[in-house]
């Protein structure tokens, strides 16, 4: 009976050590450096590159025209990765709000209120951008200067 208790305690210790080592390993996860500069979404499947969109300024209204943004499942989204030389002091993460259709009928979207985020350098010209709160479903954009990377979380 005493040996059974000792074996159970030893097994419990092994399970706990394994669980703690997994959480420590996940915290120190290395990000692979992308081949091309740009913005990426880290999902459970790896890094997925976002397609850039142009920011327009027309009559003091700053907007993007929808260019078939990519869709990602909210459950798969983890954080963003930026690779390249960017002025991160002007980086914003915004929900996109419908503004009006263009002259040819394409929908135009204005930038909504900034979402707070943390930026952490991961290497030379490699940064992780993690929202401080939870993102909900919707149309979002990461914006630096004249380039915006837009996407939809489903």
73-123: per-residue pLDDT in tens?
999 999 999 999 999 999 999 999 999 998 899 999 999 999 999 999 999
pTM recorded for the entire structure: 0.78
What is the C-alpha separation between 23 and 35, in angstroms, rounded? 29
What is the C-alpha separation between 112 and 96, in angstroms, rounded? 5
pLDDT level of residue 152 (50, 70, 90 thresholds): very high
88 phi and psi angles, rounded to 5 deg = -75, -10
Q: For 25-49, write each residue's pLDDT tens digit.
A: 445 567 888 999 999 999 989 999 9
CA neighbor of 148 nearest in space, from 37, 54, 56, 70: 54
What is the C-alpha separation between 48 and 41, in angstroms, rounded? 5
pLDDT level of residue 8 (50, 70, 90 thresholds): low
Asked if pLDDT for residue 132 goes beyond 90, the answer is: yes
Q: For 74-83, write each residue's pLDDT tens digit.
A: 999 999 999 9
What is the C-alpha separation between 83 and 34, in angstroms, rounded? 7
| Residues 117-154: b if buried by 16+ CB within 10 A, e if exposed | beeeeeeeebbbbeeeeeeeeebbbbbbeebbbbbbbe
pLDDT level of residue 11 (50, 70, 90 thresholds): low
Asked if pLDDT for residue 23 goes beyond 60, the answer is: no
Instruction: Provide the pLDDT for residue 24.
Output: 42
pLDDT level of residue 65 (50, 70, 90 thresholds): very high
Q: For 135-151, write each residue's pLDDT tens digit.
A: 999 999 999 988 999 99
15's tokens: 């399970």
């Amino acid at each position: 009976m005493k040996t059974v208790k000792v074996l159970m305690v030893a097994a419990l210790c092994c399970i706990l050590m394994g669980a703690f080592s997994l959480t420590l390993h996940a915290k120190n996860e290395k990000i692979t450096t992308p081949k091309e500069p740009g913005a990426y979404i880290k999902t459970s499947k790896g890094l997925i590159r976002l397609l850039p969109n142009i920011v327009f300024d027309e009559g003091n209204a700053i907007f993007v025209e929808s260019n078939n943004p990519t869709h990602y499942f909210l459950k798969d989204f983890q954080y963003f990765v930026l690779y390249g030389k960017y002025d991160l002091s002007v980086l914003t993460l915004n929900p996109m709000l419908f503004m009006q259709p263009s002259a040819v009928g394409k929908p135009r979207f204005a930038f909504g209120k900034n979402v707070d985020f943390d930026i952490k350098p991961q290497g030379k010209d490699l940064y992780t951008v993690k929202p401080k709160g939870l993102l909900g479903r919707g149309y979002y954009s990461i914006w630096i200067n004249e380039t915006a990377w837009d996407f939809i979380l489903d």
